[in-house]
C-alpha cells in the first residue's frame, strides 16, 4: 500500500476529491483484509504476560476448530516476563495481529543489532540519561521546584546527534530473546486489519459495515492506506490547522516531539545519511511550524494532525462524531484499539447523543491490572453483538482470598 511524502504544508490539508489526505512518513502503511468466519476474540495489549493470556483464552472458551478467530491489537511484547512465549502462542494459534509501537521499536532494535549498531545506541541512551540527570540538578539549582520547561526545538537546527535513539535499551533485550522465526512473524504483521461486517443489524455500533483494528488510533477522513504509520501506532489526540487558533505550550511541545519521533523512526530502520535526516527534519519543520497555527477544535473539512498526548481533541471523540454523521450505516466503521493503559478500558457509552464506534482494550495488564478480550459473535437477529471479558493479572489474582471474585 502506498503513502506519500510530506511535500505540502498543513494549509493544504483540506478535504477534496483529488487529495483527501497526506501521509506524514514514507514508510508504508499496510492494511490486511480479513474474512469474518466465526467468533472474533480481540485481545488487548498483552505485553509479554503469557499466564494471563492463557487464562483469558480459557475463560472465553477459545476454540480454533469451531471457527474462532484470535486477534491481537498490538503490543504483544515488552514489559512482561515472556514475550517469546506470547509471540509463539500467537503463531501456534494462527492468530491475526497488528504492529504496535512496542513491536515497531523491537523490530528497529533487531535491525540495529543486525547492522552492528546496538552497542553504540545503547551507549548513547546511557549517556543521554546521565546528561539529563545532571542537567536537571543544575536547572533545579538544589531547589525542590521542577526545572522550567525547555524551549521549543527548531527542527531545522536539530542534528542527528541531537536525536535520541528510537529504541530503548529494553527493546534490544526483547529483540535478542526472540527467535528468528518470531522476529519474521512480527515483521510481517500489518498496521491495520479491516473486516467486512454483515449488514443485518440496524442499531449502533453493529450497524457499521466495517470493523477496523489499529493499535493507537486513526485520523478521521483519511483512507486507511494513507494513514500515518507512526500515528497509527502512537496517537491519542488531534489538532487542526487554523491560522487564528491557539493551543497550550504542552501541546506545541508534543507536536515537535512527535515530528522528531517520526524522524527517529525513519533513521532506525535504514542506513540514513546525515543529509537524509536533515531533509526529513526540514519536511516536518514546514509541516508543524513550531506548533503555531493549530487549534484543538475541529472545523468542517479540515483533517486533523495526530499527536501522542491526550491534551487535544481525543481521536476517539472525533471518530465517533464522524461515524455518527454518516447517513449510510454500511459506510460506518468501528475501530478496536489498544495502547492507552493510563486511561484504561474504553467500551461504555459516554454520550447518549453520540453512539460509540471505538473500543479501547488496553486495561493495564502491563501494570498488574487486567487483560481484556472483546468477543464478537452473531446475535439472535443474525446481526452481531459483543461481550467484554477480563482476567486479573496473575499477581493480583494470587493476592485475593480463596473464593473471592
Tell me: the pLDDT tens digits for 248-285?
999 999 999 999 999 999 988 888 889 999 999 999 99
Q: Find, among 244, 241, 243, the residue nearest to 255 by Cα.
A: 241
pLDDT in tens, 366-392: 999 999 999 999 887 778 999 999 999
What pLDDT does residue 11 have? Answer: 30
Residues of the chain under the 50 pLDDT cut = 1-27, 142-152, 398-405
Q: Distance between the two ends of the chain, CA-based, in angstroms? A: 47
Q: What pLDDT, on a 0 to 100 scale, did the predictor assign at position 2? A: 29
Distance CA 152, CA 155 (A): 9
Cell of 23: 501521509
pLDDT at position 375:
98
Pairing of strands 294-295, 31-34: unpaired
Cell of 240: 487542526
Task: Quote the CATH superfamily of domain 10-398.
Answer: Metallo-dependent phosphatases (3.60.21.10)
On the 0-12 / 13-18 / 19+ scale of CB atoms within 10 A, 24 is buried
What does the alpha-carbon distance between residue 345 and residue 367 come to, in Å, rounded to a whole number?
A: 13
Contacts of 399 (CB under 8 A, 6+ apart): none
What CA–CA distance (Å, rounded) separates 171 from 227?
25
For residue 143, count other CB atoms closer than 10 A to its CB: 8
Provide the pLDDT for residue 112.
87
Beta strand 96-97 with 210-214 is: unpaired
Side by side, the strands of the sheet bearing 192-196 are 31-34, 192-196, 210-214, 333-337, 358-360
Q: What is the pLDDT of residue 92?
A: 98
What are the helix and strand counts (H, E) for the chain? Answer: 11, 14
The CA angle 145-150-151, to the nearest 5 degrees, is 140
| Residues 247 and 293: beta-carbon distance below 8 Å | no
Please report, for residues 40, 47, 131, 325, 398, the alpha-carbon distance to residue 233 in angstroms, rounded to integers and kept in the order given.
22, 15, 29, 26, 33
The label of the residue with cell 478496536 reads 336
CB 213 within 8 A of CB 192: yes
pLDDT of residue 137: 56
Cell of 175: 529483540
9: three-class secondary structure by DSSP? coil
- Domains of the chain, by residue range, sit at 10-398
183 neighbors 175 (Cβ within 8 angstroms): yes
Q: How far is residue 397's CA from residue 404's CA, in Å, rounded to a whole number?
A: 9
Maximum Cα–Cα distance across the chain: 68
Amino acid at each position: 500500500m502506498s503513502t506519500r511524502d510530506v511535500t505540502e504544508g498543513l494549509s493544504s490539508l483540506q478535504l477534496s476529491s483529488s487529495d483527501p489526505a497526506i501521509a506524514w512518513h514514507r514508510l508504508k502503511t499496510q492494511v490486511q483484509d480479513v474474512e469474518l468466519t466465526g467468533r472474533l476474540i480481540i485481545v488487548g495489549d498483552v505485553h509479554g504476560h503469557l499466564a494471563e493470556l492463557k487464562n483469558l483464552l480459557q475463560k472465553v472458551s477459545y476454540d480454533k476448530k469451531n471457527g474462532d478467530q484470535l486477534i491481537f491489537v498490538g503490543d504483544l511484547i515488552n514489559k512482561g516476563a515472556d514475550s517469546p512465549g506470547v509471540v509463539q502462542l500467537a503463531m501456534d494459534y494462527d492468530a491475526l495481529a497488528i504492529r504496535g509501537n512496542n513491536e515497531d521499536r523491537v523490530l528497529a532494535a533487531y535491525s540495529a543489532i543486525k547492522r552492528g549498531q546496538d552497542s553504540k545506541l545503547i551507549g548513547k541512551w546511557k549517556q543521554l540519561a546521565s546528561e539529563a540527570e545532571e542537567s536537571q540538578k543544575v536547572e533545579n539549582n538544589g531547589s525542590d521546584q521542577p526545572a522550567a520547561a525547555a524551549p521549543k526545538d527548531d527542527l531545522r537546527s536539530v542534528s542527528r546527534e541531537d536525536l535520541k535513539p528510537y529504541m530503548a535499551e529494553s527493546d534490544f533485550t526483547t529483540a535478542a530473546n526472540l527467535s528468528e522465526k518470531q522476529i519474521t512473524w512480527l515483521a510481517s504483521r500489518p498496521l491495520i486489519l479491516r473486516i467486512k461486517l454483515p449488514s443485518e443489524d440496524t442499531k449502533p455500533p453493529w450497524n457499521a459495515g466495517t470493523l477496523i483494528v489499529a493499535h493507537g488510533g486513526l485520523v478521521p477522513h483519511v483512507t486507511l492506506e494513507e494513514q500515518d504509520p507512526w500515528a497509527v501506532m502512537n496517537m491519542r489526540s488531534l489538532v487542526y490547522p487554523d491560522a487564528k487558533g491557539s493551543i497550550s505550550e504542552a501541546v506545541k511541545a508534543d507536536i515537535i516531539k512527535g515530528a522528531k519521533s517520526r524522524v527517529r523512526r525513519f533513521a532506525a530502520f535504514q542506513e540514513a545519511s546525515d543529509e537524509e535526516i536533515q531533509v526529513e527534519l526540514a519536511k516536518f519543520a514546514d509541516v508543524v511550524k513550531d506548533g503555531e497555527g493549530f487549534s484543538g477544535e475541529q472545523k468542517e473539512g479540515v483533517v486533523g494532525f495526530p499527536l501522542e498526548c491526550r491534551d487535544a481533541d481525543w481521536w476517539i471523540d472525533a471518530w465517533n462524531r464522524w461515524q455518527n454523521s454518516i447517513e449510510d450505516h454500511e459506510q460506518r466503521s468501528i475501530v478496536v484499539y489498544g495502547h492507552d493503559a493510563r486511561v484504561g478500558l474504553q467500551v461504555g457509552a459516554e454520550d447518549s447523543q453520540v453512539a460509540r464506534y471505538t473500543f479501547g482494550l488496553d486495561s493495564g495488564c502491563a501494570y498488574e491490572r487486567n487483560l481484556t478480550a472483546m468477543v464478537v459473535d452473531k446475535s439472535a437477529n443474525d446481526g452481531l453483538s459483543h461481550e467484554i471479558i477480563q482476567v486479573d493479572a496473575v499477581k493480583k489474582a494470587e493476592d485475593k482470598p480463596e473464593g473471592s471474585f
